[in-house]
Amino acid sequence: MVCLVGQTMFCKKSTDDGYVDFTSKTDNYCIIMRKTREEIMAAIVDIIQEQLEGGAGEIVGSDYLTGDLCLDSLEVVELVIRLEEMYDFSIDDGEIDPFYDMTVDELISVVEKFSS
């Protein structure tokens, strides 16, 4: 994915070590911002906390989206859509059902897989 914003070009690259690279090129400079598992987790936690208006308490990787965090089906869909937009990947509508029974860790793995 390449996106030109003003004079800055952002390029998304996949890597062999499990990271998602976003390269920003301005003039002759190149900045690489890697999205680690921890950063993806932080993004997921932020979205869930926003959805539940801060009422989710501590969120850990083993928490189930619907079981432990009590997200309803619409909130799970909204979470997936926001992650698709953030990490530039797409999940077909017919493939959303498994997300209802996922843990946060499993969701992170999906983001890593589809965004690389």
CB atoms within 10 A of CB 34: 13
Q: Say if residue 42 is in the same domain as residue 85.
A: yes
Residues 43, 20, single domain; the answer is no
Q: Residues of the chain with pLDDT > 70: what percent?
A: 70
CA distances from 105 to 31, 40, 60, 68, 102 (A): 28, 10, 8, 13, 8
The yes-or-no verdict on residue 6 having pLDDT over 90 is no
| 8 Å CB contact between 113 and 98 | no
95 in the same domain as 82 = yes
- Band of pLDDT at residue 29, cut at 50, 70 and 90: very low
Do 74 and 114 fall into the same domain? yes
Task: Report pLDDT digits (tens) over 88-114.
Answer: 889 888 888 999 999 999 999 999 988
Q: Quote the number of domains for the chain.
A: 2
**Residue range(s) defining the domain that contains residue 112:** 37-116
Query: Is the domain of 84 the same as that of 111?
Result: yes
Element counts in the chain: helices (H) and strands (E): 3, 4
What pLDDT band is residue 1 in, cutting at 50, 70 and 90? very low
- Give the tens place of pLDDT for each residue, 57-91: 889 999 999 999 999 999 999 999 999 999 888 98
- 82, 57: one domain: yes
CATH code, domain with 53: 1.10.1200.10
